[in-house]
Amino acid sequence: MLSTLSILLLASAAAGRDIAFPPVAAYQSPMMHSFGHEEIDITGAKFAGLTTFANLPYVHCLDKDGFEKYDIAILGAPFDTGVTARPGARFGPNGIRTGSRRIHPDSAWSIYSGNNLFKEWATIVDCGDAPLTVLDNTVALKQLDTAHRIISSRPTNSTDYTVPRIVTLGGDHTTTLSALRSTIKHWGPVSVIHFDSHIDTWDPEVLGGGVSHYAGVNHGTFLHIAHEEGLVRNTSIHAGIRAPVMNKKHDVRNDRRCGFEMIKARDIDRLTPQGVIDKLKRRVAGTKVYISVDIDVLDPAFAPATGTAEVGGWTTRELLTILDGLSSLHVVGGDVVEVAPIYDNPGEPTTLAASEVVMSLLQLMVDNPVRADSGPL
């Protein structure tokens, strides 16, 4: 005996009609059958294949036997055990790559500049992540130092500009120390433009070092250490600062001693973004520049996924306008750090913002190739 349901199904089958799908041109191109087998055109494909930054080619830049030449390298630094609050930035590199999946080198024409940075002179690749041990910061940072040294010492594709430049995907901010230890070898001391809500020049004796020497090397002291090692010029500058200092007199005096001037977060209300750009450019004029972007420079409304969020920060649009405004500078290295995707919201505003910051850093590097020599400009 047929159940009611079966009768209904039979009835609908009897009344069934052919469903005509519209023709799908891309999959019926003559090319598809011309070699006697099926093909899919992968030109310009996004959201496909493995995830590299902006769908760039992956090159195993640390392979001792073979690598392809590049002028600018993306390098992930999955390290977050130098953080004083929320961990998770070890997942930053892949978070930023995921945030960049909609970008493809064949179709990255900026609506603002009209340029496609990938279609100019530079060969840009994604080197993947540096292999870093997970339980010993001292060893991990030495591994990162070595990775930076190797990747920045490879031959470039360009014959005029012979030192490859690196954009690092952090990682907590401690990872910038390794980058600066490699830029000094090729370019000498650099002016650092440091976008952050915190000064990060804390004396290791004040922040962490009271426990052990090892603990003093962290994401709030790396610029102090970089100053001690002679890596940064006294023409450096912070942008977007708003977090409280721990010691009213000592911290700010020490910050100046480390070579930094300061643009505070609320200064943008008076200066406007263009005023911020002008002040940054004046400060670093005539020197080689390293740009470090702690994503916590943005307000947590725009970038919640970070280790030490501080309210009252800049918008993503303000930050991108300021970065793009620095296009006359000679940028020898850069990074975006402190992206901890686990704290992002489902719309992924932080990793999307970070991937656009990387695009701006790449554009600055492409705009001004830098010749290898260690003097100021």
Ligand X SMILES: *[C@@H]1O[C@H](CO)[C@@H](O)[C@H](O)[C@H]1NC(C)=O
Q: Is 296 annotated as a binding residue?
A: yes
Identity of the residue, 200 or 255, whose beta carbon is nearer to Mn ion in the bound complex: 200
In the list 71, 80, 129, 200, the residue contacting Mn ion (rule: CB under 5 A) is 200
Q: Is 200 annotated as a binding residue?
A: yes
Residue 214 DSSP one-character state: G
CB of 67 to ligand X, least distance (A): 12
Identity of the residue, 55 or 123, whose beta carbon is nearer to ligand X in the bound complex: 123
Q: Is 278 annotated as a binding residue?
A: no
DSSP string, 309-336: --SS-B-HHHHHHHHHTTTTSEEEEEEE
- Residues shown for the chain: 377
What is the 3-class SS of 249-310, one letter each residue?
HHHHHHHHHCCEEEEECCHHHHHHHHHHHHHHHHHHCCCEEEEEEEHHHECCCCCCCECCCC
Strand pairing partners for 125? 73
Identity of the residue, 222 or 260, whose beta carbon is nearer to ligand X in the bound complex: 260
- Is 254 a binder of ligand X (CB under 6 A)? no
Considering CB under 6 A, how many residues would be counted as binding ligand X?
4
Task: Output the CA torsion 279→284→289→292 (10° steps).
Answer: -40
Q: Is 196 annotated as a binding residue?
A: yes
Q: Which amino acid is at 246?
A: M
Near ligand X in 222-251, by CB under 6 A = 234-235
Identity of the residue, 72 or 354, whose beta carbon is nearer to ligand X in the bound complex: 72
Identity of the residue, 156 or 221, whose beta carbon is nearer to Mn ion in the bound complex: 221
**Dist CA 15 CA 10 (whole Å):** 9
**Residue whose C-alpha is closest to residue 100's, from 339, 372, 368:** 339
Identity of the residue, 213 or 253, whose beta carbon is nearer to ligand X in the bound complex: 253
Task: Using the rule CB under 5 A, give the single segment among 35-43, 52-60, 165-173, 262-270 that binds Mn ion.
Answer: 165-173
**Pattern 185-204, binding to ligand X, x per CB under 6 A?**
--------------------
Q: Which does 157 bind (CB under 5 to 8 A by kind): ligand X, Mn ion, none?
A: ligand X
CB of 279 to ligand X, least distance (A): 13
Q: Is 126 annotated as a binding residue?
A: no
In the list 123, 221, 316, 350, the residue contacting ligand X (rule: CB under 6 A) is 123
Binning the chain into helix, strand and coil, the percentages to the nearest 5 are 35, 15, 50
Q: Is 80 annotated as a binding residue?
A: no
Rg (CA), the chain: 24
Instruction: Tell me which residues touch Mn ion (CB under 5 A).
Output: 173, 196, 200, 294
